[in-house]
Structure 1
Protein backbone atom coordinates (compact mmCIF):
# COMPACT_ATOMS: atom_id res chain seq x y z
CA UNK A 1 0.00 0.00 0.00
CA UNK A 2 1.58 3.26 -1.10
CA UNK A 3 1.45 6.69 0.40
CA UNK A 4 -1.23 7.84 -2.05
CA UNK A 5 -3.57 5.03 -1.04
CA UNK A 6 -3.06 5.88 2.64
CA UNK A 7 -3.94 9.53 2.04
CA UNK A 8 -7.04 8.52 0.06
CA UNK A 9 -8.14 6.23 2.91
CA UNK A 10 -7.77 9.09 5.39
CA UNK A 11 -9.75 11.45 3.14
CA UNK A 12 -12.57 8.98 2.45
CA UNK A 13 -12.78 8.10 6.14
CA UNK A 14 -12.98 11.76 7.11
CA UNK A 15 -15.72 12.37 4.55
CA UNK A 16 -17.74 9.41 5.81
CA UNK A 17 -17.30 10.42 9.44
CA UNK A 18 -17.68 14.19 9.37
CA UNK A 19 -19.32 15.27 6.10
CA UNK A 20 -21.97 12.71 5.24
CA UNK A 21 -25.58 12.47 6.36
CA UNK A 22 -26.16 9.09 4.80
CA UNK A 23 -27.83 6.37 6.79
CA UNK A 24 -27.60 2.77 5.70
CA UNK A 25 -29.51 0.17 7.65
CA UNK A 26 -27.17 -2.14 9.51
CA UNK A 27 -24.00 -0.10 8.79
CA UNK A 28 -22.62 2.64 10.99
CA UNK A 29 -20.86 4.94 8.51
CA UNK A 30 -19.23 6.96 11.27
CA UNK A 31 -17.48 3.82 12.52
CA UNK A 32 -16.50 2.80 8.98
CA UNK A 33 -15.00 6.27 8.46
CA UNK A 34 -13.05 6.08 11.71
CA UNK A 35 -11.71 2.65 10.76
CA UNK A 36 -10.62 3.91 7.33
CA UNK A 37 -8.87 6.91 8.89
CA UNK A 38 -7.08 4.67 11.40
CA UNK A 39 -5.91 2.29 8.67
CA UNK A 40 -4.70 5.24 6.59
CA UNK A 41 -2.76 6.76 9.49
CA UNK A 42 -1.18 3.42 10.41
CA UNK A 43 -0.29 2.79 6.75
CA UNK A 44 1.31 6.22 6.46
CA UNK A 45 3.40 5.61 9.59
CA UNK A 46 4.54 2.19 8.36
CA UNK A 47 5.33 3.54 4.88
CA UNK A 48 7.44 6.40 6.18
CA UNK A 49 9.32 4.19 8.64
CA UNK A 50 10.17 1.70 5.88
CA UNK A 51 11.21 4.56 3.58
CA UNK A 52 13.55 5.89 6.29
CA UNK A 53 15.22 2.50 6.67
CA UNK A 54 15.83 2.17 2.91
CA UNK A 55 17.35 5.62 2.38
CA UNK A 56 20.98 6.22 3.23
CA UNK A 57 21.54 9.04 5.69
CA UNK A 58 22.21 12.44 4.20
CA UNK A 59 25.26 14.48 4.97
CA UNK A 60 28.72 13.08 5.52
CA UNK A 61 29.87 9.80 4.14
CA UNK A 62 30.09 8.50 0.64
CA UNK A 63 26.47 7.59 0.19
CA UNK A 64 25.63 4.33 -1.54
CA UNK A 65 28.73 4.02 -3.70
CA UNK A 66 31.30 5.08 -1.14
CA UNK A 67 34.01 7.71 -1.54
CA UNK A 68 34.88 8.80 -5.05
CA UNK A 69 38.24 8.06 -6.57
CA UNK A 70 40.62 10.85 -7.42
CA UNK A 71 40.78 9.75 -11.06
CA UNK A 72 37.17 10.40 -12.05
CA UNK A 73 34.23 8.07 -12.22
CA UNK A 74 33.61 5.38 -9.70
CA UNK A 75 31.42 2.53 -10.72
CA UNK A 76 31.43 -1.18 -11.48
CA UNK A 77 34.15 -0.80 -14.15
CA UNK A 78 36.34 1.61 -12.28
CA UNK A 79 37.81 4.85 -13.53
CA UNK A 80 39.29 5.87 -16.88
CA UNK A 81 35.97 6.04 -18.70
CA UNK A 82 35.20 2.32 -18.49
CA UNK A 83 38.50 1.13 -20.05
CA UNK A 84 39.46 -1.18 -17.25
CA UNK A 85 40.64 -0.39 -13.77
CA UNK A 86 42.47 2.79 -14.73
CA UNK A 87 45.75 1.52 -13.29
CA UNK A 88 48.58 1.54 -15.82
CA UNK A 89 51.88 -0.32 -15.38
CA UNK A 90 54.84 1.91 -14.77
CA UNK A 91 56.91 2.44 -17.86
CA UNK A 92 60.57 2.66 -17.13
CA UNK A 93 62.31 3.51 -20.33
CA UNK A 94 61.38 1.58 -23.43
CA UNK A 95 62.89 -1.32 -25.37
CA UNK A 96 66.11 -1.40 -23.35
CA UNK A 97 64.25 -2.65 -20.28
CA UNK A 98 62.59 -5.51 -22.18
CA UNK A 99 65.44 -7.87 -21.36
Structure 2
Protein backbone atom coordinates (compact mmCIF):
# COMPACT_ATOMS: atom_id res chain seq x y z
CA UNK A 1 0.00 0.00 0.00
CA UNK A 2 1.48 3.33 -0.99
CA UNK A 3 1.12 6.82 0.35
CA UNK A 4 -1.60 7.71 -2.15
CA UNK A 5 -3.79 4.73 -1.27
CA UNK A 6 -3.34 5.42 2.44
CA UNK A 7 -4.38 9.05 2.09
CA UNK A 8 -7.33 7.99 -0.06
CA UNK A 9 -8.50 5.55 2.65
CA UNK A 10 -8.14 8.22 5.32
CA UNK A 11 -10.16 10.70 3.23
CA UNK A 12 -12.95 8.22 2.42
CA UNK A 13 -13.05 7.12 6.05
CA UNK A 14 -13.34 10.73 7.23
CA UNK A 15 -16.19 11.35 4.80
CA UNK A 16 -18.03 8.26 6.02
CA UNK A 17 -17.39 8.99 9.69
CA UNK A 18 -18.15 12.71 9.76
CA UNK A 19 -20.12 13.74 6.67
CA UNK A 20 -22.50 10.90 5.85
CA UNK A 21 -25.71 10.72 7.83
CA UNK A 22 -27.22 7.55 6.43
CA UNK A 23 -28.09 4.39 8.31
CA UNK A 24 -28.00 0.86 7.03
CA UNK A 25 -29.55 -1.89 9.08
CA UNK A 26 -26.54 -4.19 8.97
CA UNK A 27 -23.68 -1.65 8.77
CA UNK A 28 -22.79 1.29 10.96
CA UNK A 29 -21.28 3.72 8.46
CA UNK A 30 -19.60 5.79 11.17
CA UNK A 31 -17.71 2.75 12.46
CA UNK A 32 -16.80 1.76 8.90
CA UNK A 33 -15.37 5.24 8.39
CA UNK A 34 -13.27 4.99 11.55
CA UNK A 35 -12.00 1.58 10.46
CA UNK A 36 -11.01 2.93 7.05
CA UNK A 37 -9.20 5.86 8.67
CA UNK A 38 -7.34 3.48 11.00
CA UNK A 39 -6.31 1.20 8.14
CA UNK A 40 -5.16 4.20 6.10
CA UNK A 41 -3.14 5.60 9.00
CA UNK A 42 -1.51 2.23 9.63
CA UNK A 43 -0.70 1.84 5.94
CA UNK A 44 0.78 5.34 5.83
CA UNK A 45 2.92 4.65 8.89
CA UNK A 46 4.22 1.35 7.52
CA UNK A 47 4.94 2.89 4.12
CA UNK A 48 6.94 5.73 5.66
CA UNK A 49 8.89 3.30 7.85
CA UNK A 50 9.77 1.12 4.88
CA UNK A 51 10.82 4.16 2.83
CA UNK A 52 13.09 5.41 5.59
CA UNK A 53 14.90 2.05 5.63
CA UNK A 54 15.37 2.14 1.87
CA UNK A 55 16.90 5.58 1.97
CA UNK A 56 19.80 4.66 4.24
CA UNK A 57 22.93 4.62 2.14
CA UNK A 58 26.39 3.25 2.56
CA UNK A 59 29.15 5.38 1.13
CA UNK A 60 31.59 3.30 -0.88
CA UNK A 61 34.92 4.81 -1.80
CA UNK A 62 35.78 4.23 -5.45
CA UNK A 63 38.87 2.12 -6.01
CA UNK A 64 41.86 3.87 -7.54
CA UNK A 65 42.72 2.81 -11.07
CA UNK A 66 45.19 -0.06 -11.29
CA UNK A 67 48.83 0.93 -11.60
CA UNK A 68 50.52 -0.14 -14.79
CA UNK A 69 53.98 -1.49 -14.15
CA UNK A 70 56.47 -0.78 -16.82
CA UNK A 71 60.10 -0.03 -17.40
CA UNK A 72 62.09 2.38 -19.45
CA UNK A 73 64.94 1.21 -21.55
CA UNK A 74 67.46 3.94 -20.89
CA UNK A 75 71.13 3.68 -21.70
CA UNK A 76 73.35 3.11 -18.69
CA UNK A 77 76.61 4.86 -17.89
CA UNK A 78 79.32 4.74 -20.55
CA UNK A 79 81.59 1.73 -20.45
CA UNK A 80 85.38 2.57 -20.24
> Shared topology, TM-score over 0.5?
yes
1:1-80 residue pairs with structure 2 within 5 A? 1-56=1-56, 63-64=57-58, 66-69=60-63
TM-score (norm. length: structure 2): 0.77
TM-score (norm 1): 0.64
Structure number with the bigger relative contact order (C-alpha 8 A, sep ≥ 6) is 2
After TM superposition, the structure 1 stretch with the greater mean CA deviation from structure 2, 28-37 or 16-25, is 16-25
Find the counterpart in structure 2 of residue 89 from structure 1.
Answer: 68
Q: Which runs of 5+ in 1 are unaligned?
A: 57-62, 72-85
1:34, distance to aligned residue in structure 2 (A) = 0.3
> How far apart are the structure 2 equivalents of 1:90 and 1:16?
75
**Root-mean-square deviation over aligned CA pairs:** 2.2
Q: How many Å separate the matches in 1 of 2:69 and 2:62?
A: 23
Unaligned runs of 5+ in 2: 76-80
Q: Secondary structure at the match of 1:91?
A: coil
The Cα offsets for residues 16-64 of structure 1, whole Å up to 9 and x where unpaired, read as: 00111222222100000000001111111111111112211xxxxxx44
**Displaced runs of 4 or more, over 2 A:** none
Larger Rg: 2
